[in-house]
Amino acid sequence: MSELRRILHIEDDPSIQSVTKLALEAVGGFEVLSCSSGAEALREAPGFAPDFVLLDVMMPGMDGPETLARLRECLDLERIPVAFMTAKVQSSEIEHLRKLGARDVIIKPFDPMRLADQIRSIWNADRY
């Protein structure tokens, strides 16, 4: 795969879900599947076959890190980059998230006009 088209977005907050989906579709021109929980994402992911996964950290029930671990079972995460999205900005936390296997961490609040570019640059960085 050499093209970034489909993005799996997992976020429990419906407002952020909407804004993010709009920013990625309308500004970035991506195809976005939004899931409201880790469980939903695990169900939908194999069928959707995403090129990139954007994952919220703090979610009720299955949180971001756990979802990431479970996604490995159904997606080839060596090939598909994952980026966390979090409002926690402490460097120790960011470091921790990277260690879990995320390519990068996007800080909330994000600039919706630049979000597509950010994801694209992460995806590109991963290519080379």
Partner 1 sequence: MQPSRPEADADAQHRELSRLAALLRYEILDSAEDAAFDDFTQLASRLCDTPIALISLVDQRRQWFKSRVGLEVSETPRDISFCSHAIRDDAIFEVEDALADPRFRDNPLVLGEPHIRFYASTPLRTPDGYNLGTLCVIDRKPRRLSAEQRDTLARLGRQVMRLFEERLLTRRHAEQAALQQAILSSAATAVITTDVEGRLRSLNPTAERLLGHGSASVAGRPVCELLFDPATLARRAHMLTEEFGQPVQPGFEVLTLPLERGLPEMAQWRLRQRNGNEVPVLLHVMAVRDENERLHGYLLSAFDLADQEQLQLRLQQIAAQVPGMLYQFHWRPRGGGRFPYISEGVQDIYGLSPAQIGHDMRSVYKRVHPQDLPEVQRSLRHAARLLAPWQAEYRVNHPQRGLRWVEARATPLPQADGSVLWNGLITDITERKAEQLELEKQQEMNRRLLEALSEAVIACDAAGNLTVFNEKAKQWHGGDIAPMPPSEWARHYHLYLADGVTPMPAEQVPLRRALAGEHVGDLEMAILCDGTPRHVICNANPLHGSDGQPMGAVTVLYDITERKRIEQLQREFISTVSHELRTPLTSINGALTLICANVIGQVPEALRELLDIAQQNSQRLSALIDDLLDMDKLHAGKMRFDMRRQPLLPLLEQALRANGSYAERCAVQFRLLHCDPAWVEVDGMRLQQVLSNLLSNAAKFSPAGACVEIRAARQADGVRVSVEDHGPGIAENFRERVFQKFAQADSSDSRRQGGTGLGLAISKELVERMGGRIGFHSTPGEGACFWFELPLAEAPVAGGSDR
Residues near partner 1 (CB under 8 A) are 13, 15-16, 18-20, 22-23, 26-27, 87-92, 108-113
Q: Give whichever of 12 and 51 is closer to partner 1, judged by the CB atom.
A: 12
Q: Give whichever of 42 and 85 is closer to partner 1, judged by the CB atom.
A: 85
Contact 57, 82 (CB under 8 A): no
The structure tokens listed for 83 are: 């980026």
Q: Give whichever of 22 and 74 is closer to partner 1, judged by the CB atom.
A: 22
Contact 119, 83 (CB under 8 A): yes
Burial class (CB within 10 angstroms; exposed 0-12, middle 13-18, buried 19+) of 118? middle
Give the contacts of 36 (CB within 8 A, at least 6 positions apart): 10, 11, 12, 14, 17
Q: Give whichever of 18 and 121 is closer to partner 1, judged by the CB atom.
A: 18
We find the least distance from the C-beta atom of residue 71 to partner 1, in angstroms, to be 23
We find the least distance from the C-beta atom of residue 60 to partner 1, in angstroms, to be 13
We find the least distance from the C-beta atom of residue 28 to partner 1, in angstroms, to be 10
Residue with tokens 């703090």: 58
We find the least distance from the C-beta atom of residue 73 to partner 1, in angstroms, to be 29
